Structure 1
Amino acid sequence: MSIASRDASTDGSGTEAESTPARLPLLGLLALFTAAFTAVLTELLPAGLLPGMSRSLGVSEGRVGFLVTGYAAASFLAAIPLTAALRGLRRRPVLIGTLAGFALCNAVTALSSSYALTFGARLVAGVMGGTLWAMLAGYAARMVPAERRGRAIAIVLAGITVALSFGIPAGTALAGLAGWRTAFATVAVLAVVLVGWVVWRVPDFPGEPASERIPLWRIAAMPGIRTVLSITLLLLLGHQAMYTYMAPFTERSGFGRTGLVLFVFGLATVAGIWLVGVLIDRHPRRTLLGALALIAAAMLALGLFGRSPVVLLAAVAAWGVAFGGAPTLLQTALVRISGPGRADVATPMQTTVYNAGIAAGSLAGGVVLESADAGAGALPWTALPLITVALATVSASRRHAFPPR
């Protein structure tokens, strides 16, 4: 029996599970959803707490911002080598160890008065993050039969969207009421509770036996993998070049309410995750084509009519709906191509590409903002060609990566 079929037909204890269970294992999937939520809070919470952390640690706000940069860099560097090193271990102990690492790092951050110690804790947390993101999609896929994998992955990755839309603002508000240390302590407690939840409701799965392990380069060479990674990079380059600099673009329109614009985007991404969860298992190719086409249309509208507040809000809402589900569609395609048993090795490649796209897109947008005569007005025209190439690539990929159904 292949790894993929074995995973789909056994539960965490190794006993045979029903091939088509009546319901999704929602409590287990929600535990993984909460793991994604916790990871995003851990990564991005300092961005909302710059003034308070700056005063307490005795450093500039820019150096507090480096706590986010350090986390991302550690996650970027650790994802592939650490996942490769751990691929033979049973999955639940690795997941529990990662969550315990989050709890410890957030507790150290909450208690530390030393910038150096805090930065070190953030680097370790980034390593935990790189390991976690490499596991989540494959773990969700192994918990359900093949025909429900897309929906399961959508549920888990919705934790990212909910954290961005509601978790970070809530953490920032809590810090305003009780101090930034309380916010990090709360995330540490959440991670501890989550360890118990995982033990209670998330099944265990075996690692890859040494005799069945495929070298990383062979997985990367599987037909369709490089196509999915290329589209991921193009999408993130275009998205991040525009999203990072929404504040100056919003100011350019005369609307000026960047917080409202970002809230509309975040709320729309929640709708996008829900919509993709409904469609992904039946129409994955057409749903991805529609999402990329909608992002391209939003960029075109922002480029042509972005000075109008009505167009600005409508285009950002459409962009949010489309982008909310696009990463889930791409990660589901990667799991389908590699097989759930090997997804823990394939997914870190996407994590690495995803982080590279975020960094390069933000850099490209900044260069355009500073150098173009049109200033922020040039940003949609920077993003549009990248999204259009991604759309054309999906349209042309009819054999391995995104076959018609």
Structure 2
Amino acid sequence: MTTQLPAPARPEAPAQKLPLLALLALATAVFITCLTETLPAGLLPAMSADLGVSESATGQTVTIYAIGTALTAIPLTAATAAWRRKRLLLTAMAGFAVANTVTAFSTSYSLTMAARFVAGVAAGLAWALLAGYARRMAPEHLQGRAIAISMAGIPVALSLGVPAGTFLGKAAGWQVAFTAMTVLTVALLGWIAAAVPDYPGQRQSEAPPMLRALRVPGVTPVLFVTLVLVLAHTILYTFIATFLDELGMGGSTDLVLLVFGAASLLSIWIVGAQIHRRLRTLMIASTLLIAVAAAALALLSDSHALVYAAVALWGLGWGGAPTLLQTAAGEAGGDSADAAQAMLVTSWNGAMAAGGVVGGVLLDLLGAHAFPWSVLVLLAPVLAVVIAARTHGFPARRSGTTSA
């Protein structure tokens, strides 16, 4: 998730149209990153049986992945600042190939957890790189759309990849699902080598320290919004099957997630078309849509039709959020954009790890009905910060535009 490296030399200036083949390669990298993280959720019973541990312990393979990303994104981004971008991207994706291969063939819980941590480290490198890579490929007026295309891998992974991986795991074994991820990653390495342009990194003397980035106006509000918004989303998304069971819709979880994913894809398209002129408006709308969806799930969940409608609104609000937040962090960071993006990655994954823990506590203390209410409580400060950050962070006026 890094962006706005020093401007490349004139020969490297992006063309006046989007390089779709290269952007789709980045979208596939995002898909692999997201699906590698969430795939165990659909394979827990079989994995736990083969590894000889409880399903709860096996569930920590998701947590350790997020921890690996959160702990290493900032130091590794700084350490690799001078690397050429393609070399760094190939290294990160090769890390996924190794980690998923080890996971597929491991019969040891400890070795599996180590492999999942390595996958999280690779994700930290990838997330801190992909959005900025997409920006550099596009002319200024199409940069938001380029990021949106590259981020399309997120809803595709969540709405189609996880159910498909779960089906494959049940039909042929969970090891086959992880092996398929390796095969896809190896194919992607060739795709990146052939179709994705290369760009220089930063000279080490130019790499901006994290503390300096925090002093840049606008960075802190974006990081706060990222942390709390992702926390709110993760609490509900992680336990959506449990929440639907409470409503008597446990058998419809796959369909509900499909509705969420389809709405997320529509959201990405809308954000990609409008982000250059209306980042602030879109961020406010995104927060409000998720809040309305949470309110509907809290108050109107007796109607299954309204639950589907609420999930569609949730997807509309959430789908474009990664693009909005990455763009906001890159623009707020300016010369410190790399550091700002690395901190955004850390905030994002820290919130994901915390979401599972907080959701579990809420479930034990208050029950599944508490999830949508927790989302509403957390979104109140998010909306307040977005509205207040009208000069820096989520500005009403952006460079090169006449309105937000």
Q: How does the TM-score come out when normalised to structure 1? A: 0.91
Q: Residue 376 of structure 1 aligns with which residue?
A: 368
Using the TM superposition, give the Cα deviation of residue 365 of structure 1 relative to its aligned residue in structure 2, in angstroms.
Answer: 3.0
CA distance 1:248–1:211, shift in 2 (3 Å): closer
- Give the SS at the match of 1:174: helix
**Cα displacement (A) at 1:84:** 1.0
Q: For residues 6-17 of structure 1, what are the structure 2 equivalents within 5 Å?
A: 7=7, 10=10, 15-17=11-13
* CA-CA distance at 1:265 after TM superposition: 1.6
**Which shifted more, 81-90 or 205-214?**
205-214
TM-fit CA distance, 1:200: 0.9
> What residue is the counterpart of 2:215 in the other structure?
221
Q: Does residue 1:188 correspond to 2:182, yes or no? A: yes
> For residues 289 and 165 of structure 1, do their structure 2 counterparts lie closer, same or farther at Cα, with a shift above 3 Å needed?
same
Among 375, 378, 390, which residue is 1:386 paired with?
378
Match of 1:327 in 2: 322
1:2-401 aligned within 5 A: 7=7, 10=10, 15-17=11-13, 21-256=15-250, 257-339=252-334, 342-372=336-366, 375-401=367-393
Q: Name stretches of at least 5 consecutive residues in structure 1 with no aligned partner.
A: none
- Structure 1's consecutive aligned runs of 4 or more residues displaced over 4 angstroms after TM superposition are 3-6
Name which of structure 1's ranges 314-323 and 103-112 shifts more when overlaid on structure 2.
103-112
Give 2:373's aligned amino acid: W
Aligned in 2, Cα 1:112/1:385: closer, same or farther, shift over 3 Å? closer
1:208 partner amino acid: Q
Aligned to 2:400: none
Q: Could you list the per-position Cα deviations for residues 95-115 of structure 1 after superposition, in whole angstroms to 9, with x for gaps in the alignment?
A: 111111111121222222233
Whether the 8 Å CA contact 2:16–2:138 is kept in 1: the answer is no
The alpha-carbon deviation at position 241 of structure 1 amounts to 2.5
* Identity among equivalent pairs (%): 50
Q: Give me the whole-angstrom Cα distance separating, in 2, the residues matched to 1:215 and 1:284.
A: 26
Output one character per residue of 1:35-94: Cα deviation in whole Å (capped at 9) or x when no partner: 111112222212211222223333332332222222221111111111111112111111
Distance (whole Å) between structure 1 residues aligned to residue 217 and residue 26 of structure 2: 29
Distance 1:51 1:4 in 2: 43
CA distance in 1, matches of 2:5, 2:256: 45
Assess if the C-alpha contact under 8 Å between 1:95 and 1:132 holds in 2: yes
CA distance in 1, matches of 2:394, 2:217: 11
Report if the CA contact (8 A) 2:4-2:337 is conserved: no
CA RMSD after TM alignment: 2.0
What amino acid is aligned across from residue 280 of structure 1 in structure 2? I
Mean alpha-carbon deviation: is it higher for 74-83 or for 208-217? 208-217
The separation in 1 between residues aligned to 2:249 and 2:342, in whole angstroms, is: 40
CA offset at residue 333 of structure 1?
0.7
2 CA distance for matches of 1:51 and 1:304?
33
In the TM superposition, residue 384 of structure 1 has moved relative to its aligned partner by 0.8
Give the direction of change, closer, same or farther, for the CA distance of 1:258–1:132 in structure 2 (3 Å limit).
same
Gaps of 5+ in 2: 397-402
Instruction: Give TM-score scaled by structure 2 length.
Output: 0.91
User: How big is the shift at 1:9?
Assistant: 6.0
Structure 1 residues 376, 48: CA separation in 2 closer, same or farther (over 3 Å shift)? closer
Residue 399 of structure 2 is matched in structure 1 by: none
Aligned partners of 1:43, 1:5: CA distance in 2, in Å?
A: 27
